[in-house]
Structure 1
Amino acid sequence: MCCCMLIGMMGSTTPQNGYPVPGKQNITPQDVMTQMFFVGDEEWGELCQTGDFDYVVIGSSFCALGFITKVAENNPKAKILVLEQGQCFYTSHLQNLAPAYLHTLGAAFSFPWSISERTHQGKYIKWQYGMTNFLGGRSLLWSGWTPEPADDEMEHWPPEIIDTVHKYFGEVRELMNVVAADELFVTNQSAKPVYGKLQERLQLALVKASDKIDTITKVIPGPLAAKCKGQSSSRKALDLILTKRSSADKAPLKVRINCTVKKVQHNGKKVTALETSQGCLKLGSAKLVLAMGTLPPTTLMLNSFPKNQFPQLVNIGERYTCHFYTTFTARIPRSVLDHNSEFGDLEMAAIYLAGVDKKSKHQFHIQVVAMSDTNPVKNAKDAFQFYPDIVSFPGSDQRSSSTEHVIIVCSTFGELDHHNKENWFRLNDGNDVTTNATLQSLTNKTDEELWDVMDVASFQVIEQEIASQPSHIEYWHPEGNSGSWKKTRPTAEMIRQPATAHEASTMWMGGDNDKEAPVGLDYRPKGVENVYITGGSLFPTASSWSPTGVMVALAMHLGETLEPKK
């Protein structure tokens, strides 16, 4: 850019430009981001008074992206205001950054709820994964498994919702760039495919698993949300709302950060204003869309619509489901799968297997990820970026000790029984209305039997289908902050995770026959005119599949319902 253009952008001689006195010195990165992309204090004051929006969206999750994308597509002039509790931290998905950022993962979660004592004292389940209070939410850390569930995998779901999921899932694949692992044409530093021969061999080994293991019902290449077709297999993070700024001939999309919504004001049927950490925001004629996960919007609804005054909403928080899970790491000599030394110096594979406990009919699924890495130091950045599941990324000690092996990580998720009345999410007597809720999540006999079934299936997949004989297999046994490879299987206490994931069902939606459902098929809490729900809280059951794609499909349907194609 030429000097005259820079001078023109900088403006005339004003104090902030150094004349006649020095300008502001304590400029923070957030100051710059706010000036360029977000609603500043002066504009916020005006917006609070005018309430001139078509939609106010709380949260910047994948659901927000799906909803806003569809609304903007059908009505480019729609006026949308996004309220985000946090700031802008990661500017891209974590895996697009340096591998050192992996160490920030544990510090990125907040827990705006309490865990009940019974859950905390449980044998296996002790807590629920938290929220990520940054612009983009969990999408910044999310692993990209995005399967489309079959009809029988959405058991107890209204047929209208099932049809909607299938109708919009093609658009979900396009928006989130979902690609089957065997179609990911990405290369390593040696210009060989990362998802190449190892993916081919693993698919060949597992293609008949559903015939040999009676609890396995489906085997497919991993459906992964990729960063860019043909260039990278890292997950596509939320297309940050700040990049969706509209052009001059369209209504702007405004984003206010550091803004926590505490309660909604209403007249009994219609929300009129929002009580936020930055003052009261008039809603005017806008529609309010809750897109901030599962539990935080449930807390907001419980505080804003007391059950003793709104009997039609009495079941909010009285159903709770999620996924409990097992994860373990194994390795086998590379020669077992690479008979002719065809693998590149870094290769990966991802396979998705669905399963069911034949007794209870409850579901589980297995995510199998394999990695062959002959030079972990040289390949560290590529391995971190291309690996399809950031949460289960093998540690440096596992990779450095396995240069002659294929590492296999098996993560298996089962659905928590939605019939269990002892699982709930309820208000407590806390003073902070953004955190005054308690979560109770317990396993019953049905869950424990399912957990046994899915663990057996997981070991069968490794020992019977991938390895030619069990003697080839070594398992990683965690020991403190490290561990060691051993021939024996790790115990259940080693592999069953204390945290649950994919929380759901606190405000499930139901059709005319489901009188207990607090939310109707129009996404509105019953009896409330201008509030709409997105996310996992709508799910009648958790089933077992990774839920993000279905969440986005329903959010897109909501967007098109409110803004039909012209």
Structure 2
Amino acid sequence: MANFASSKNLGNGYPTPGPQRPDIQDIMNHAYFLTDGQWKEAKENNSYDYVIIGSGFCGYAFAKRILEKDKEAKILMVERGGFLLPTHFQNLGASYKKLVGPISETFPWSLSQSTMLEKAPYRVTQHGMLPYFGGRSFLWSAWCPQPEKVQVEKWSPVLFNSLTQKNGETSYFDDAIKLLHVHKSNVLPFSKNLKKLGLENNLDQLRLPEYGALQDIIHDLFAKKKDDFNSQSVTRAKLMKVEYASLACGDGENKGIDFNKFSTPTAILNLVDSTAFPTKNVDSDTEKRRKEGNNMYPNRLHILTECVVEEILNENNQAYGLLTSRGTIALNNAELILATGAMPPATLIQKSFNHESAGKHFTAHTISAITARVKKDKLSELTENGNLQMGAIYLPFFAENGQQFHIQLSIIHDPNPNKNQELAMRYMPDVVSTASPEQLKDSENYVILVCAILGELDIHNEEASFNANKDSDSTTGSLLRCNPSLKDKKTWDDMGKTTYNILDYLFDDPEYWYSDLNYYQECHVSGTDFLPERYGIQNSWVKKEERTRYPHVPAMVHEGSTLPIENNNVDSDNKKIEAVVNLDYQLINQGKPVSNLFITGASLWAQSGAWNPTLTMTAMALQLADKRIAAKEKQQPTSENTESTAILELIDQSKF
């Protein structure tokens, strides 16, 4: 039986049956990505202006900006993985939650023994990478707070000001907010539309949740009591502000979809079609020029999946090729954009350039998790209307030691958890950190407060690094070491204590969820496998006196700082963090910039701060695109390989 898809001569069962075991990746290759045949021709004959490694937020933002502003640009986007999901898993239904976690992750590094042997409750592991088209964008929380100046004091003021200042009508942060479809949780698109139609009181009948009265009550309570709390904070941590959460959940605002978390797969596929060369009313010379070196004409964005970049070929501080699992890519005049997160680009640069400063630093957010519930009667302004009520509030703090942390507060009141299970999963502000079915059970008369507390690790910690090791595989040849310093441990402890402190202060006598993870941490701290007085209360609500002292979660998220950009960060000895990337986003190698290699993403961080990184790194990717467009407009790019290319053409023509 022949193995072919539907085509001009072969299809519809003629002359023989086609494939009987169709593969989703093969289908996507024929529909959107480069097939084996197309890729063979592309790598041998195509020419590109940019080669982007990565298909997540930064890769998408850079590609979109370039293609929309430079109408002649051609881009090759290289992704190491294949196709998994078309959109954010939360948009698809509750069953897809099973994809969250290690089952879908890879770990292209080795974790050091000293990190694994760190004593509880301070042992950490790092969440893995998502090696698929779209990267982490279809499994993220979608929280997008914008940092303020006081939160980025260790960053370059030149860089931060350039992101926040208006460039015409908008700033780069404004542009990133638009690109990611970010909205404040008190003005979500569907909520505004319902108010316009006078339907906000009919949400239960419409099978929609309410981001309204309950959220406002909790927000106003925090805001009203902020200064009083700060004046008597037991840990001396200070609440900086109270802010409705910024959520990237408006991706369906122009599509008739009420709550749709943003992800890049569909956005990138749409970009392929929307930015293609026009084919009507084009003169023959222009069409001929555009077709040269473009086997996918009229498309200007070509996507290659299941291709692992193993090495950047370079000489004299210029990248000239890529060794990949699918053959060698000659860059010629193309600029290379690394948009693969914080860790893979550091490994690639270490191995390709023997770069000693890459991976010298490592930061991330440690996590604590606290879930409380309060009787709804204590919130006197709350009226029962039968709605599933939700809210999301962002609470950034400065710890006494100067480190930052923040609480992602998700608020849920569910009067009918059995009925609303699917609905709740669909509309949760943070489905990775939310009330579980066990917690919602018997909580119909309560408001549940889910606190995901994220705290920054100190970039000056010499026990945290991502250095090259002797692994012969160039894509996994790094050793992650992260042993929290005394400063980090103090911050981590204060994260939990401060959260307990403010919940007790505002809500008098809340109950707290005691989880099996809390029990696990307590056992390890005590050096035993069994605590009889604690064993029986696992996964139940307890009073303040019985809550855990160790809400620490043994994991890190929002990794960064492996390739720090020029910054304003100095340690206690006034020693500055060495920049690996300059303010033009170029890699610095041996004291000089690599002419055509640019970095974007959280690897650039000068500090993790108290905010989720996606909005900021998207703004930076947009700025990088504008910088490259401006650079090309200033001077017509010339190829340093012109002579060698001409020689190859002569050799081909001579037909020896």
Relative to the length of structure 1, the TM-score reads: 0.92
What is the CA deviation profile of residues 339-372 of structure 1, one whole-angstrom value per residue up to 9, with x for unaligned ones? Answer: 45344420101111111023x2111111111101
Paired residue secondary structure (1:207): helix
The residue aligned with 2:447 is 406
Q: Which amino acid aligns with 1:226?
A: C
The 5-angstrom pairing of residues 87-102 of structure 1 reads 87-102=82-97
Contact 1:233/1:387 (CA < 8 Å) preserved in 2?
A: no
Q: Quick check: which has more Rg, 1 or 2?
A: 2
The residue aligned with 2:162 is 164
The residue aligned with 1:386 is 427
The residue aligned with 1:4 is none
Contact 2:513/2:540 (CA < 8 Å) preserved in 1?
A: yes
The residue aligned with 1:72 is 67
Contact 1:322/1:501 (CA < 8 Å) preserved in 2?
A: yes
1:462 paired to 2:503: yes
1:521 paired to 2:569: no
Given candidates 490, 503, 506, the residue that maps to 2:547 is 490
Contact 1:93/1:141 (CA < 8 Å) preserved in 2?
A: yes
Aligned residues: 545
CA distance in 1, matches of 2:7, 2:427: 45
CA distance in 2, matches of 1:200, 1:86: 42
Aligned in 2, Cα 1:492/1:62: closer, same or farther, shift over 3 Å? farther
CA distance in 2, matches of 1:179, 1:82: 29
Aligned in 2, Cα 1:518/1:11: closer, same or farther, shift over 3 Å? closer
Contact 2:496/2:552 (CA < 8 Å) preserved in 1?
A: no
Q: Which amino acid aligns with 1:559?
A: A
The residue aligned with 1:295 is 343
1:541 paired to 2:541: no
Given candidates 131, 134, 139, the residue that maps to 2:132 is 134
Contact 1:364/1:544 (CA < 8 Å) preserved in 2?
A: yes
Paired residue secondary structure (2:417): coil
The residue aligned with 2:286 is none
Given candidates 462, 473, 476, the residue that maps to 2:513 is 476
CA distance in 2, matches of 1:454, 1:11: 60
The 5-angstrom pairing of residues 368-447 of structure 1 reads 368-447=409-488
- Structure 1 unmatched ranges of 5 or more: 1-8, 308-313
Measure how far apart 1:240 and its partner are.
Answer: 3.5
Measure how far apart 1:29 and its partner are.
Answer: 1.8
Contact 1:86/1:259 (CA < 8 Å) preserved in 2?
A: yes
The residue aligned with 2:268 is 241
The residue aligned with 2:153 is 155
The residue aligned with 1:268 is 316
CA distance in 1, matches of 2:354, 2:396: 40
Measure how far apart 1:377 and its partner are.
Answer: 2.3
Given candidates 45, 53, 66, the residue that maps to 2:48 is 53
Q: Which amino acid aligns with 2:258?
A: S
Aligned in 2, Cα 1:344/1:72: closer, same or farther, shift over 3 Å? farther
Larger CA deviation: 507-516 vs 137-146: 507-516
The residue aligned with 1:352 is 394
Aligned in 2, Cα 1:464/1:550: closer, same or farther, shift over 3 Å? same
Measure how far apart 1:156 and its partner are.
Answer: 1.2
What is the CA deviation profile of residues 400-425 of structure 1, one whole-angstrom value per residue up to 9, with x for unaligned ones? Answer: 23122111101111110111112110
Q: Which amino acid aligns with 1:125?
A: R
Given candidates 28, 35, 48, the residue that maps to 2:30 is 35
Contact 2:213/2:382 (CA < 8 Å) preserved in 1?
A: no
Measure how far apart 1:300 and its partner are.
Answer: 0.4
Paired residue secondary structure (1:531): strand
Contact 1:155/1:543 (CA < 8 Å) preserved in 2?
A: no
Contact 1:320/1:424 (CA < 8 Å) preserved in 2?
A: yes
Q: Which amino acid aligns with 2:629?
A: E
CA distance in 1, matches of 2:11, 2:68: 40
1:553 paired to 2:579: no
Measure how far apart 1:37 and its partner are.
Answer: 0.5
CA distance in 2, matches of 1:511, 1:412: 26
Contact 2:209/2:427 (CA < 8 Å) preserved in 1?
A: no
What is the CA deviation profile of residues 194-234 of structure 1, one whole-angstrom value per residue up to 9, with x for unaligned ones? Answer: 20111111112111343022211111111111133495344
Contact 2:64/2:271 (CA < 8 Å) preserved in 1?
A: no
Contact 1:62/1:552 (CA < 8 Å) preserved in 2?
A: yes
Given candidates 358, 361, 364, the residue that maps to 1:316 is 358
The residue aligned with 1:216 is 239
CA distance in 1, matches of 2:150, 2:96: 39
The residue aligned with 2:524 is none
Larger CA deviation: 223-232 vs 134-143: 223-232
CA distance in 1, matches of 2:277, 2:65: 20
Q: Which amino acid aligns with 1:295?
A: M
Aligned in 2, Cα 1:76/1:492: closer, same or farther, shift over 3 Å? farther
The residue aligned with 2:223 is 207
CA distance in 2, matches of 1:558, 1:383: 38
What is the CA deviation profile of residues 277-319 of structure 1, one whole-angstrom value per residue up to 9, with x for unaligned ones? Answer: 1111111110000001100010000000013xxxxxx311111
Measure how far apart 1:18 and its partner are.
Answer: 1.8
1:500 paired to 2:561: no
CA distance in 1, matches of 2:224, 2:61: 36
Measure how far apart 1:45 and its partner are.
Answer: 0.7
CA distance in 1, matches of 2:181, 2:7: 42
Indicate the RMSD between aligned Cα atoms, in angstroms.
2.2
Contact 1:324/1:416 (CA < 8 Å) preserved in 2?
A: yes
- Structure 2 unmatched ranges of 5 or more: 165-170, 192-199, 231-237, 279-297, 520-537, 570-575, 634-656
Measure how far apart 1:338 and its partner are.
Answer: 5.4
Measure how far apart 1:478 and its partner are.
Answer: 1.1
Contact 2:154/2:567 (CA < 8 Å) preserved in 1?
A: no
Measure how far apart 1:95 and its partner are.
Answer: 0.2
Q: Which amino acid aligns with 2:540?
A: S
Q: Which amino acid aligns with 1:75?
A: D
Q: Which amino acid aligns with 2:244?
A: P
Matched-pair identity in %: 34
Contact 2:157/2:568 (CA < 8 Å) preserved in 1?
A: no
Contact 1:146/1:178 (CA < 8 Å) preserved in 2?
A: yes
Measure how far apart 1:97 and its partner are.
Answer: 0.8
CA distance in 2, matches of 1:298, 1:422: 17
